[in-house]
Structure 1
């Protein structure tokens, strides 16, 4: 599809009522949105296929849904650090942050480096991107052993006092994702959660309680990704 054809299709799918609904229901506040649901964008992305050149044009259109489409059709292996940083600073809500973090950043060659870097950022959605990327990376990386993922736990502990809604939820998400990677990391994530419970921070306690509720429940879906012995 050409750029103009995609833009026309986006406008054909537009529904201003959806913009307001997403704002009220999901807290998605944005500018230049047409009101197209993510499910419709996934169908359109499949129709388009991978197309880096078109993806860049769609991002530069400034249209919110065009940018979401960009995250779905750009090839992760072709992304550069400069491009990641250019896109990162534009994130204004969790939907676009997570779309790029899960669809592109976690599958890029720079995922680990950016997780570490972005976790120290001040802006809410830049920091969220670190933990949203980490959460998805836990599933995207099927080869790394426990050592790498254990190294992320001190970062989670360090940032577990951030009171901002979309940061604390992402920190919690990352902790749960590490804990579901294999049984050894499950023990490690539970161990950190118990330490977080001891802290004075209400945010740390909330993150810990929510993580434990999922990681300790009977029948929890714990995967069997590559392991190294974890000793308590």
Structure 2
């Protein structure tokens, strides 16, 4: 049985007992890197994380295992206040799958490491650059008390990298733009203006990002959501 006192080695041994070849095959269809995967779903890993609770030293050991599930568990159980920029950079050097990136992005935002966003965006590696925009997307949702100007200051970064045609980058850039636009009426207007500008771009990738963002940000559902937020302020 696993417990809050479980060591990294004990947790890894437990994870190995849950291996599912069928689930591994299914994950591959969603673009998840499965070379080191055991086939355990994220909800099941989150249940384990709630049992074992946070332990920063243990999360470091789990990450070193290079096992997909152990690394996700490391991200779920790391202590945000002890996560340093240098450690985030080290972990990001290992990124090779969108789901690891997106999980890490939530942790990095919780740890208030958003100063790394510009640095990650400037990095040409696909998954490190994705980290920057996944962090923006996460920050737009979770940093509720942050001034709008913090989010809007990342719009030029979105415009700068909107021409990156790599699948996992362009989707994250699009995601970041849409999430800023759904934050509130002020952010909606600014993000929509950027989306409309990109939609008119001669660059195919930027045009796709812009058109897709315009489509969502002008939908009845999003407009109603933004108006509700305006009424609540």
TM-score by shorter chain over 0.5:
yes
Instruction: Give the equivalent residue in structure 2 for 1:109.
Output: 112
Instruction: Give the equivalent residue in structure 1 for 2:159.
Output: 157
1:6 aligns with 2:11: yes
Between the aligned partners of 1:170 and 1:4, the Cα distance in structure 2 is: 34
> Shift of the alpha carbon at 1:2?
2.3
Q: Output one character per residue of 1:162-193: Cα deviation in whole Å (capped at 9) or x when no partner.
A: 00000000000000010011111001111111
**Equivalent residues, number:** 222
What 5-or-longer segments of structure 2 have no aligned partner?
A: 1-5
Q: Output one character per residue of 1:23-61: Cα deviation in whole Å (capped at 9) or x when no partner.
A: 1x2111243221111111111111111111111111111
Between the aligned partners of 1:219 and 1:15, the Cα distance in structure 2 is: 39
1:39 aligns with 2:78: no
Instruction: Give the equivalent residue in structure 2 for 1:21.
Output: 26
Between the aligned partners of 1:134 and 1:74, the Cα distance in structure 2 is: 20
Between the aligned partners of 1:30 and 1:5, the Cα distance in structure 2 is: 22
Answer whether contact 2:23 2:39 (CA < 8 A) is retained: yes
Between the aligned partners of 1:64 and 1:212, the Cα distance in structure 2 is: 35
Between the aligned partners of 1:187 and 1:177, the Cα distance in structure 2 is: 12
Q: Which has the higher contact order (CA 8 A, sep 6+)?
A: 1
Instruction: Give the equivalent residue in structure 2 for 1:61.
Output: 65
Answer whether contact 1:16 1:35 (CA < 8 A) is retained: yes
Q: State the TM-score, normalized to the length of structure 1.
A: 0.91
Instruction: Give the equivalent residue in structure 2 for 1:137.
Output: 139
Between the aligned partners of 1:159 and 1:62, the Cα distance in structure 2 is: 30
1:88 aligns with 2:92: yes
Answer whether contact 1:30 1:93 (CA < 8 A) is retained: no
Instruction: Give the equivalent residue in structure 1 for 2:76.
Output: 72
What is the Cα-based RMSD across aligned positions, in Å?
A: 1.4
Q: Output one character per residue of 1:100-126: Cα deviation in whole Å (capped at 9) or x when no partner.
A: 112x11111322x11111111100000
> Shift of the alpha carbon at 1:20?
2.1
1:205 aligns with 2:210: no
Answer whether contact 2:123 2:129 (CA < 8 A) is retained: yes
> Shift of the alpha carbon at 1:16?
2.1
Answer whether contact 2:27 2:34 (CA < 8 A) is retained: no
The 5-angstrom pairing of residues 192-231 of structure 1 reads 192-220=194-222, 221-222=225-226, 224=229
Larger deviation, residues 194-203 vs 8-17: 8-17
